[in-house]
Structure 1
């Protein structure tokens, strides 16, 4: 086996462990899932785990970093690269949030919502990863809001950064409430508030 092939296989195994962990922990939480469950589902021997991750916390940090990298790439496609007015792109973003982060199995797409409150008090490295990731999301939202003001498709009364933070916190809270009440009414209210804040037509 050539060195390049070995590196590619190693990268594939690491990616498979992360993808499997994201799917399982996105459904059950971080503490409730043992490494054996993840590795068995991924088809990876337990002894191989520590070749890629130094500890469960290190795995959790890598899991979140991988999740936010993909999430921000999706935001980039939705908010920066898609055509049409920015207001429509923002609506599409929040509609996708509603679709992905429901009270049904989110297949790992709601990892920040699922793990946020749980791991912030358990692991400093994971809390820091969550902070970096959520800061990136808020920055993307702020840039989109600024662009929407510039193209005239939306209007805000406060600085874009403040509006972005408030909207992110609104939707994060709505995601938790959706899981509690087991219906999508919190998302309906979050969308109505978002439209009001951005001065979008009903």
Structure 2
């Protein structure tokens, strides 16, 4: 184990996330990752059998951290469910450029079935967490009765597409439009 890092595997995943979120999966070679992380090749292969397995672990780690952040945001006391949902999408506007689903989704879906399935599992879990937050808002009366799973799916699709358009256009106009529609979809009446 590399003594420079307390947890070499987590260090590799963190450095990988930083690099891949900027450059993509295919364009980053293993040597680039190892050089940036300051980790020898043998240490990499101690944790991962291949770059593809590293990609799977990276995506799984990303979604785990993302769901923890969702739980933290939706667990804030003293706010109704609708306000917490709007806070979540406000934060999305600020951090969408860090979204690995937007950055790597189309690229790895055709490249690796294992990575595609990791992405699918992660996005399904995010949508389920959104649906739960919508159900909380319905229960506390801040949203009207509706199909929480359908609304969560549509909101997630809206924001993924908006994130992609934001990257393509390099402006916030689509984010503002998505937030306007989100406010309508999450209206109390």
Question: Under a length normalisation based on structure 1, what TM-score does the superposition of the two structures give?
Answer: 0.88
In the alignment, the residues of structure 2 paired with residue 82 and residue 184 of structure 1 have an alpha-carbon distance, to the nearest angstrom, of: 30
1:73 corresponding residue in structure 2: 68
One of 130, 133, 144 as aligned partner of 2:122: 133
Q: Does 1:159 align with 2:147?
A: yes
Q: Quick check: 1:21 aligned with 2:22?
A: no
Query: Which piece of structure 1 moves more, 169-178 or 110-119?
Result: 110-119
1:179 to 167, 172, 189: 167
CA deviation map 1:36-82 (0-9, x unaligned): 11111111012221111000100000000000000000000111344
Q: Tell me if the contact between 2:5 and 2:11 (Cα under 8 Å) persists in the aligned partners.
A: no
Note if contact 2:20-2:28 (Cα within 8 Å) is conserved in structure 1: yes
Is 1:96–2:91 an aligned residue pair?
yes
Gaps of 5+ in 2: none
SS in 1 for 2:75: helix
CA contact 1:80–1:144 (8 Å) conserved in 2: no
**Residue 142 of structure 1, CA deviation:** 0.4
How many angstroms does 1:167 deviate by? 0.3
Q: Does 1:54 align with 2:49?
A: yes
Question: Which whole-Å deviations, capped at 9, do the CAs of 1:77-109 have from their partners, x for residues lacking one?
Answer: 11134431111111111111110114xxxxxx3
- If the length of structure 2 is used for normalisation, what is the TM-score? 0.94
CA apart distance, 1:155? 2.5
By how many angstroms is 1:200 displaced? 4.9
Partner residue of 1:30 out of 3, 25, 28? 25
Q: 4+ runs of 1 displaced by more than 6 Å?
A: 8-11
How many correspondences in the alignment? 189
How much does 1:196 deviate?
Answer: 0.8
Residue segments in structure 1 that go unaligned for 5+ positions in a row:
1-5, 103-108
Q: Deviations over 1:134-189 (max 9, x none)?
A: 00100011011111011111225x41100000000000000000011110111111
